[in-house]
Structure 1
Amino acid sequence: MGFLFLDLETSGLSSSFDTPLQAAFVQTDAHLQIQRELTLRCRLPDHIVPSPDALLITGVTPEMLANQPHSHLEMMAQIARIVADSKPSLILGFNNLRFDDECLRQSWYQTLLPPYAASMTGHGRGDVLSMLRAVALVEPQAIILPRDASGKWVMKLGDVCRANGNGLSEANAHDALADVRATRELFMLLRERAPATMATMLLHAKKSGPIALMEPGEPVILGGTSRLTPVLPMIASPTNPAARVCLDLSQDPAGFIGLPALDLLARIRSSRSPVRQVKTNAMPILFSWGQAAHALVEPEPDAVYLERARALWAHPTFTRQLVLALQDQYADRVPSPYPDQQLYSGGFVSDADAVACRRWHEIEWKFREHHATWHIRDPRLRSLALRQIFLNAPEALSPEARRRGQDWMRHRLATEDEVPWLTIPKALARCDELAATIEPGSVAALDEIRAWLLQRRDALPQGGEEVPVLAAS
């Protein structure tokens, strides 16, 4: 199996309401020899207000946001083809499982492409940041990690690369291709210096790895961002079929083992929760007892952990109360009214709608509104289909649908309501905050961003007027 390294640069940090603007790929063979490199950029979709912070960090200018050859819809389709053409591969990035993968999934969903294209097509999925943390926790002598003023590890890609002799300069950091090249080099370094730890982590790039390790129900070692924890795998998660519920063996179960479900749920929701949910499809930092117990900080004797594990398994009601507590863990969560945030709350896309969405991409724009109305049954996807027509070919919509699109766009960009996305008023307020602390060398860039946001605000029409296409100043 070869490797596909990827990195995204996005308009902001919200996977639901921001969007990829740049994507870079390095594809290698099984020996990590580069076979091809590719960078894609797209225009900013008209309904997105990018974070001023993100623009300053990446060096993207308003002119660059407008003057790209591909629309967002076109770039997401290209990324899907790249992922499909590279299978089977191990897809790797740096912090990709928590961010890049989620951004891809959400953007594919919002452009009516298969949202799980990177995880349900024979690929493995891994994260070099998780591998770095695993090595730092289990074999700290294998890697040099810089520290901040408080003594905590710094795990930014550029800082770690420079500390270990890999040349990702400050100037090149946050360029997608430079970052993805550096990720490959760091991955190679970790495999060279910590082969045993990396071999275990690579097994976890597919669900079968952590499942096999937890299946016997014996104590194992779970890693987090900065420490290892002894845990006991107990039950499948009642709310996530890809997760296993583990109990923290560093806590004495006598304090919670006899609690009824409601009281146990309160304990789980507290800062002293004994429950750890291990996602088997997200490369958990997970080791057998013999491989990582030596790295526990201030450990108890092994006999203490084994006795706690026996007590948890032997208790006549704990497992049942744990299931009942976790079943209600998210019962009070209110679903989002916005289709952008409904990927997980609305269930998987049906086979019929998957076919209808594929056909939607194939036909001419002038037929897509009718196709969405009559052939796409999922209300989330039908709404997103009409949105994409409005963003890419508004002239193909009926007058009523175009009017609704204009109202939606006006609200999306300029509302003063409390909404979960970045609006122009919020972005301008953030520019004012940044002006008080920004480095002198970035003042001109910030002024350009503010002027462009003001231009967008002033160009917004009143009710009944056409919404103009986004343009750079």
Structure 2
Amino acid sequence: MNYVFYDFETTGRDSNWDQIIQVGAILTNTSFQEIDRFEARCRLLSDIIPYPKAILVNQSSVKDLTQTNLSHLALIELMLNKFKSWGTATYIGYNSISFDEEFLRKTLFKNLYNPYFTINNGNKRSDLLNILRANYIYYPNTIKIPKNEKGKLSFKLDQIAPFNGIKNFNAHDALGDAIATIKLAKIINLKSPQLWEASISTSNKENANKLIENNKLFCITESYFGKIMPFVVSFICYHPIYKWAQCFDLKHDPEDYINLSENSLEHFMSKSPKIIRSLRSNKSPIIMESKFIPQINEYKHISNEELHRRADIINSNVEFKLTLEKLLRKQAEDKEEYLSQEDINFEETIYNSFSNNYEKVIMEEFHIANWEDKLMIANKFKEERNYYFAEKVIFEENPSVLPKEIISKINRRIAKKIFSHNDEKWNTIPKAYKEIDDLRVHYEEENDSTTLNNLNNLNNLIEEIEKKYQNV
């Protein structure tokens, strides 16, 4: 199966409220030889206020944001058609599971396309950042990891790539970052082939679950605030609601916990260090065989025989599994009840519920219809959020076909959103002005006239948006 290495540049970090502005993707074979590539930019959506710092980092100009030929929908459709033309593939980015993948899913969702493209129809996904973190534990001498000004390991792509001799790429450009990701992947595949194979083997949920279920004990890695934590674990059960694998950390002796009451077990589950590790098999976890345990210092004081004894206790204790499942269900239901009381916007509902087949048929009709017919098709939606997204798409792409009252309604909604003085989840005009002012102070001290000029241009852009919506 071929690989697609990809990266997005965005207006900010929140996949619910920011937007993709540049796509860079490269199709390769399993030897990392390029077969095809795709790169494109798009204009800002009407209701998006970009974060100035994000725009400085990805080096987008105001002209890029406002005068690029492609609309947001046109970019997404071009990208999606290109991806489909490449056939089934494993999609790999750098921090993509947490960042780029979430932007991809939510962008497709808000444009009435299947958001789960990278895990449907035979496609798979992986994340080179997670692979590099695991590599640091199991093959520490194969990739050099730089340190930041605080002396902590830095896995930032723009630092780790040049630190390993990768110099000819444009950092924070979508295509440039995709190129750097490929070159790092080649090094991993060459110097740590077992790790690379392990990462590819868990690039879909079904294979990951098989490994979890079929190995009495195995190694996983997690990352907390830049610190990489390896664990030796044994599978207990799947979460009764979320279906994540629940694994016992064999650093602990299970005999201390298997006979506890429900309340006592819940108490210890909330303590740190955790006795139960959640492993999300749908997020391409790196799972290494038990032969790698000697690489993990935290478990060297426990003999191999003792680790197997602990795993046997976990595997054979059905009562402990049932008690854990009961607790997990209760905690999930309590959480869902709490979340149901929060105000939630349609943009944040991708994981709340799935559209049924009827809604999916209407989505297809909506996309193939002429612009003049799209609103009529949109009225067939029974889910309010799908109609809401359909209206927004028409407004962005061809507002002339909308009745004046709908245009006025959307304009008022945009104005209310972008002029808010509250601490919103999205960026607003007041927040953007403040950020520009703060950045100016910094770059004036640096005597950086180029960046100051870019900030002035961004300020002018925000002023133009402000004028456009101040009287709606």
Is 1:455 matched with 2:431?
A: no
Question: Within the alignment, does 1:391 sit opposite 2:392 as a pair?
Answer: no
Match of 2:203 in 1: 205
Question: Structure 1's 259 and 404: CA in aligned 2 closer, same or farther, altered over 3 A?
Answer: farther
| 1:22 Cα deviation after fit | 0.2
Q: Which residue of 1 aligns with 2:148?
A: 148
Q: Distance in 2 between matches of 1:409 and 1:248?
A: 49
Aligned to 2:364: 358
Structure 2 distance, partners of 1:23, 1:14, is: 17
Q: Which moved more, 1:103-112 or 1:88-97?
A: 88-97
Which residue number corresponds to residue 20 of structure 1? Answer: 20
In structure 2, distance between residues paired with 1:410 and 1:234:
51
What secondary structure sits across from 1:125 in the alignment? strand
What's the CA shift string for 1:120-175, capped at 9, x where partnerless? 12112111112211211101111111122444321111222212111145xx2101
Deviation at 1:440, TM superposition (A): 3.0
Aligned CA distance change for structure 1 residues 271 and 414 (closer, same or farther; 3 Å): farther
The 3 A distance-change label for structure 1 pair 82 and 337 is same
CA distance in 1, matches of 2:441, 2:56: 15
Question: 2: CA distance between counterparts of 1:430 and 1:258?
Answer: 55
Partner of 2:378: 372
Distance 1:267 1:400, change over 3 A: farther
Tell me the amino acid that sits aligned with residue 366 of structure 1. Answer: E
Q: Are 2:375 and 2:402, in contact at CA under 8 Å, matched by a contact in 1?
A: yes
In the aligned structure 1, how far is the partner of 2:215 from the partner of 2:325?
A: 16
The residue aligned with 2:44 is 44
Deviations 1:229-276 (A, max 9, x none): 1111111122223x2111222234455444444554454445433222
- Structure 2 residue corresponding to 1:173, chosen from 171, 196, 206: 171
**SS of 2:6 mapped into structure 1:** strand
SS of equivalent residue, structure 1 residue 104: helix
Q: Deviations over 1:96-132 (max 9, x none)?
A: 1111111000000001111111211211211111221
Q: What residue number does 1:342 align with?
A: 349
Structure 1 distance, partners of 2:242, 2:285, is 15
Larger CA deviation: 135-144 vs 435-444: 435-444
Q: Distance in 1 between matches of 2:290 and 2:83?
A: 36
Residues 3-152 of structure 1 aligned to structure 2 (within 5 Å): 3-152=3-152
Instruction: Give the distance between the partners of 1:144 and 1:30, measured in 2 at CA.
Output: 24
Distance 1:397 1:264, change over 3 A: farther
Output the amino acid matched with 1:343: I
- Structure 2: give runs of 5+ residues left out of the alignment: none
Q: What SS does the corresponding residue of 2:297 show, helix, strand or coil? A: coil
**Contact residue 161 and residue 168 of structure 1 kept, 8 A:** no
CA distance in 2 between counterparts of 1:360 and 1:265 reads: 49
Instruction: Return the alpha-carbon distance in structure 2 between the equivalents of residues 289 and 73 of structure 1.
Output: 47
Native 8 Å contact 2:119 2:204 kept in 1: no
Q: Is the 8 A contact 1:224 1:285 kept in 2?
A: no
Q: Could you tell me which residue of structure 2 aligns to residue 412 of structure 1?
A: 417
1:408 CA drift (Å):
0.9
Pair 1:11–1:228, CA change in 2 (3 A): same
Contact 1:135 1:198 in 2 (8 A): no
Partners of 1:297 and 1:432 in 2: how far apart?
48
1:278 maps to which residue? Answer: 279
1:328 maps to 330
Are the equivalent residues in 1 in contact too, given 2:127–2:284 (CA < 8 A)?
yes
Does the CA contact (< 8 Å) of 2:142 and 2:192 recur in 1? yes
Cα 1:399–1:128 shift into 2, 3 Å: same
Q: Distance in 2 between matches of 1:268 and 1:434?
A: 43
Give the C-alpha shift of residue 17 in structure 1: 0.7
Give the % identical residues.
Answer: 24
* 1-10 or 159-168, which deviates more: 159-168
| Alignment match of 2:304 (pick from 302, 305, 321) | 302
Q: Choose from 178, 199, 213 the match for 1:215.
A: 213
Relative to 1, partners in 2 of residues 1:45 and 1:263: Cα closer, same or farther, differing over 3 Å? Answer: farther
Q: Report what 1:244 is aligned to.
A: 245
Between the aligned partners of 1:394 and 1:240, the Cα distance in structure 2 is: 40
- Structure 1 counterpart of 2:231, from 225, 229, 232: 229
Secondary structure of 1:407's counterpart equals helix
Counterpart for residue 184 of structure 1:
182
Contact 1:219 1:306 in 2 (8 A): yes
Q: 1:158 to 1:398 in 2, by over 3 A?
A: same
Q: Are the counterparts in 1 of residues 19 and 103 from structure 2 also a CA contact under 8 Å?
A: yes
1:319 to 308, 317, 321: 321
Paired AA for residue 411 in structure 1 = K
Instruction: Report SS of the residue matched to 2:273.
Output: coil
Equivalent-residue separation in structure 1 for 2:12 and 2:270 (angstroms): 29
Greater per-residue helix proportion? 2
* Mean CA deviation greater in 294-303 or 178-187: 294-303
Secondary structure of residue in 2 paired with 1:317 = helix
Q: Cα offset for 1:401?
A: 2.0
Deviation at 1:94, TM superposition (A): 1.0
Displacement of 1:285 in angstroms is 1.6
Separation in structure 2 between the aligned mates of residue 264 and residue 381 of structure 1, nearest angstrom: 43
What number of residue pairs does the alignment pair up?
Answer: 457
Q: Structure 1: state its 5+ residue gaps.
A: 466-473
Q: Give the TM-score normalised by structure 1.
A: 0.91
Q: Does 1:426 align with 2:427?
A: no
CA distance in 2, matches of 1:266, 1:401: 53
